[in-house]
Structure 1
């Protein structure tokens, strides 16, 4: 799921969103299963969708579906792990005009509120921070369970220019669209039953 030059920042946002199964107080602490999880992004370059993903991320999740308001989620994404499958473009994304990974090695998400919508659906509000800029985001999350594994999935849109992603000539949105879709699938163990 990679192709050309794309905006990995959306992934960042996705990562924060995936942390949809949070918990505070005395909610159970969940464990992320990285091999079964993914955070991806889709941007448009000259109208053509370009897909990418972040290969390294971590989450701290405490969440009881029966008491979502007590949940808490913290997410960190290694921005240097962004890839669209092209070596030159992947290297370019690490530079100052894009993620500037030397100065900003991580993008983070911290939940501020979690609300149950019914039917395994939740709304997670929080702060997404990328490249020194922080924005409030609202992430829809669907939680499913099978055996001892809970899977949180969702997608949301961010504006890359609000996070200074794609500076200089790349600020031209006719070349690379401002909107980036962030998609995530987080597999977790230790989440309470729905």
Structure 2
């Protein structure tokens, strides 16, 4: 399954419906914002697994019970109630993914979607634990380890190892995810996805 299938499936509809209520926007705005924010989160994760240390760190996080996919089973009730625990976990996850670049990523998503930064930060914080739960579930189903996470993320973004250069799926929509210009700066490439 790739990200476009996830967004149009039952999980995506639950997320869109609840995000629109939580953040005070219509479902079309929520769907648009999510379709920009999810590839940015996955792109940041994919960039992180480029190093052995980053891949091992993500693998360790996905082996944690919090990211085993069980969150997805009662997503509607979790998002419909007090979302503070999910958002707090999301803030920590985003710190690991983006580090000091988080404000710039939020700014880029805000510019692309036309939503205020006051909505983008909470949106990303809600989405990050969902992404981790989904990744954890996919990792278990694929029975993969740290070495297979890059392909797993590539598949979610619409193109695994074999398709990365040619693109495909959401890769065509949001552009490249890796440090294409080899300048060592990931931020310009993550922001390039959402421009």
Decide: shared fold, TM above 0.5: no
Q: Find the structure with the greater CA-based Rg.
A: 1
TM-score category (smaller protein): under 0.3
Higher strand share: 1
